[in-house]
Each structure stands twice: as structure tokens, then as C-alpha cells.
Structure 1
Amino acid sequence: MFLPLTIELLLGFVGLFIITKMLGKTQFSQVTPFDFISAIFLGEVVGSALYDGQTTVYPMLYSLFLWGSFMLAIKTAGQKSLKIRSWIDGSPSIVIRNGRIIRKELKKNRINIHDLLYMLRQSNVFSVREVEYAILEPNGSISVLKKADYGHVTRRDLNLPPKQVHLPTSLITDGEIIWDNLKAIGLDQQWLEGQILSFGIDKVQHVLYAEWKENEGIYIVPYA
């Protein structure tokens, strides 16, 4: 009785862990993949005991004990070995380095430009051009280090008059023009292609991301 249950638990752990790692870091909000698996499994064990009349208390207690032992053993191993800890909880990924988007890291973590822009906005960063470094944490959150020119010194600190703030407008993502946005700022494809050429890029398809911001102009990120 207990041997088949043990095998099922082991297979369930391995299967859930592989699936959650494949989904990428953005699936977990504020928990690590290991915590995510534990929450699902423990909820299922307790739920089965409560709602399945054929499940007795002893298999449930055994399952909880066995799973608790797994958790304790893995957490202990992670405390003793940096490599094991990195494999279990994941490691940070630098998705923007020295102001450049690292497309390889985006693909590795199953996120696209739209996901990256959303996470930056969640960190109160509304333009990629402001970012020197962005690090995707193991729990799916993003940490941002702004460029020196976009630090937190305010105009009030310098006794300067207020200045109007403009939101950036995305014009190209993943090599495709966002026509509605281009039309909204009163510009056309010919202008956009000219701007791309001025950056030494001959095709729109070679642009990973481009945005327009009033008073600052266009910002272009080519495919690496």
C-alpha cells in the first residue's frame, strides 16, 4: 500500500517541478517553484482526505509526513550547497545590462517585450531608456537600477520649475510596427523607417523594440 503511494508521490513531485520550471519565473508572483509545488500538493492531499470517502486518515498522514520529509531534506540540501539552492529556487537573470535588452535571457525565461514593459511599469519605470540594469528575480518580480540621468533627484530639489511629464509610446515590438500607436502620435511609416536607418538598421524586422517619447525622441533597441 505504502510503496505505490511513495512512488506516486515521487513521480508527482518530479513532474510538477519540471512543469513549473518550464513555465518560467513569471508564473509564480511571490513564491518560488518549490513553494508553488508544495502548496498544490498539500492542498490536494488535504482535499482528498476531506472529500473522498474512500481515503482514510492514515494514507493522508503518511503522505503529509513523507512530503514534509522531502521538503525538509531539499531545504537542508539547499542551505548546504549553492548549486542545489540555485537549481531548486532558481537564480536571478539579468534581462537588461548596461541599458541593452538581453533577448537571450528573455527567451530563456519565456517572457516577451510586452511582459518586460509590464514588469517595468510595475516598478514605476515607464521607459526602457531609463534602465541601466533590470534583474528578473527567482520569484518572478523585477529589480531595476536606473541610469544616473534618471535618478530620484526631483526638480524641486534643484529649485527648478515643474516640467510636463510624457508617457512613452511603443512603436515596434519584436520586429513588428504597432500601427495604431504610430498613427496616434501623427507620424508615418516613412518617418519611422528613416529613424531606423539613422541608427544603422536597414529593416524594421531587425528592431527588437522602439519607442517614442515627447521631448526625447525615438529610442531603438536592435536585435542582439
Structure 2
Amino acid sequence: MDNFGSIFIETIFGFSLLFILTKVLGKTQIRQLTAFDFISALILGELVGNALYDDEVGIGQIGFAILLWGILLYITEKTTQKFKRTRSFLEGKPAIVIHKGQLEREVMKKNNLDMNQLLHLLRSKDVFTVQEVDYAILESDGTVSVLKKTEAQTITREDMQLQPEEVNLPFMLINDGEVIEDNLKEIGRDMNWLEKELKKQSVSSVKDIFYAEYERENSLYIQKY
């Protein structure tokens, strides 16, 4: 029982420290993680995970390891912000892998990128042939940005000389049978309005709704269970 209690305390302690550390260092989306960020996340996980099951390691050692690694990450982050020349070394820099429709083999080789990987990245951008691509840039987080050739680009309203339309952001109002009250307030509505809208579509209870979305000038979109 003592061992379980020790693991419980160290887990809560490690979780709390990692949570605080992420708040201090700032938010980074998973898809925006650089190679350095990814390695840092793995090491932090290893530090806490190994410490939990090592009887000779206590809370003090866990806290010291996380704090030290957090300081190093913080210093690295501040260094890249203050000294621009260090960014390419510490964070990496984008690389043009397709230039004016031509594959840059040396750049691909330097970045350990083969054709199968490049085609996979292009397909994630709805591009299924390199013949459509004018420029492709391999970003520091491993994703690819694509600029299609003019004949492969989608026609816009501006191209058709049509008047621009107002863009309305849709809001999720119901998720898995629960009302998202913050979003309801954001659109200037209340529960009475929502209940009326549901009755218009023959829905008696919010609990019957899996997903509901509101977009200005459109009726409430509802998907039941």
C-alpha cells in the first residue's frame, strides 16, 4: 500500500508541475511542434515516467528534473525570440522542395524526404500530382505548404468579379447532448431561443441531440443520435 501511495503522490506532483510548465512556456499546437519541441516532450514524459517507478527517486528529484528542463526550454525560447539568427539553428527553417514546378532533389535529400513521403504530404493538401504544383515548401514542423500552378488553382469570387459576401463563423451549440452555454452567449441567444429552435425541428430535448451548429442567416443545423 505504501508503494501505491508513493506512486499516487508522485503522479499528482509530476502532473501539476508539467501543467504549470506548459502554462509558463506557452501554447503550441501539436501540428506546429518542431523536432526540438517533440524531443522535449518525450524527455519530460520519460523524466516523470521513470521517476514514478524508481523507489530511489522522490518528489524532490522529480521536481528538480522538471524544473531544470523547464528552465532550459524557457531559455531556448527566449533566445530564439531575442536573437533571430539562432532560430534556424534551434527551430529549423523552411525548405523549398518544389521550385517552379521542378523537384529539388538535393533539398529533399538534405531533409531526408523521399518521393513517397512528399506525395503523402501533397495529398494532405488535396494535391494528387506534382504536375499541379508550382512551389512546395517543407515547413519546420514537417508539414508542407503548397502553391499550385495558376491553371490548377481554384477560381475565387474576385476572379469572377462577384461582390464579396460576409463570412460568418459557425458556432457549436450542442455537443453530445450538452449545451455549450459560452457559445450561446457569444451569438447573443439564450436557452428559450434554443428550445424554440429545437421545437421547430420537432426535437423535444437537448439530450436527443448529438451535434447542433448555428451559423448566422442559416437555420440551426441538428444531428440527432
In the alignment, what sits opposite 2:195? none
From 109, 129, 132, the equivalent of 2:131 is: 129
4+ residue runs of structure 1 moved beyond 3 angstroms? none
What amino acid is aligned across from residue 61 of structure 1 in structure 2? G
From 144, 147, 162, the equivalent of 1:145 is: 147
In the alignment, what sits opposite 2:118? 116
1:81 Cα offset (Å) = 1.3
CA distance in 1, matches of 2:47, 2:96: 37
CA distance in 2, matches of 1:81, 1:96: 29
Which secondary structure state, in structure 2, belongs to the residue aligned with residue 64 of structure 1?
A: helix
Which secondary structure state, in structure 1, belongs to the residue aligned with residue 147 of structure 2?
A: strand
What amino acid is aligned across from residue 49 of structure 2 in structure 1? G
1:29 Cα offset (Å) = 5.5
1:48 Cα offset (Å) = 2.0
1:60 Cα offset (Å) = 1.2
What amino acid is aligned across from residue 99 of structure 2 in structure 1? R
Alignment pair present for 1:106 and 2:101? no
What amino acid is aligned across from residue 148 of structure 1 in structure 2? T
Whether contact under 8 Å (1:92, 1:137) holds in the other structure is yes
Structure number with greater CO (CA < 8 Å, separation at least 6) is 1
CA distance in 2, matches of 1:113, 1:37: 25
1:49 Cα offset (Å) = 2.3
Greater CA radius of gyration, 1 or 2?
Answer: 2
Which secondary structure state, in structure 2, belongs to the residue aligned with residue 140 of structure 1?
A: coil
Gaps of 5+ in 2: 1-29, 161-225
- Report matched runs for 1:196-211 at 5 Å: none
Which secondary structure state, in structure 1, belongs to the residue aligned with residue 60 of structure 2?
A: helix
Which secondary structure state, in structure 2, belongs to the residue aligned with residue 135 of structure 1?
A: strand
CA distance in 2, matches of 1:91, 1:75: 15
Which secondary structure state, in structure 2, belongs to the residue aligned with residue 133 of structure 1?
A: strand
CA distance in 1, matches of 2:104, 2:36: 26
**CA RMSD for the aligned pairs?**
1.8
Aligned residue pairs, count? 129
What amino acid is aligned across from residue 139 of structure 2 in structure 1? E
- Report matched runs for 1:167-206 at 5 Å: none
Q: 1:167-210, CA deviations, whole angstroms, 9 ceiling, x for partnerless residues?
A: xxxxxxxxxxxxxxxxxxxxxxxxxxxxxxxxxxxxxxxxxxxx
Please, what TM-score do these two structures have when normalized by structure 1? Answer: 0.55
CA distance in 2, matches of 1:103, 1:49: 45
CA distance in 2, matches of 1:34, 1:111: 18
In the alignment, what sits opposite 1:96? 98
Which secondary structure state, in structure 1, belongs to the residue aligned with residue 38 of structure 2?
A: helix
Which secondary structure state, in structure 2, belongs to the residue aligned with residue 94 of structure 1?
A: strand
Gaps of 5+ in 1: 1-27, 159-224
Whether contact under 8 Å (1:33, 1:88) holds in the other structure is no
1:107 Cα offset (Å) = 0.1
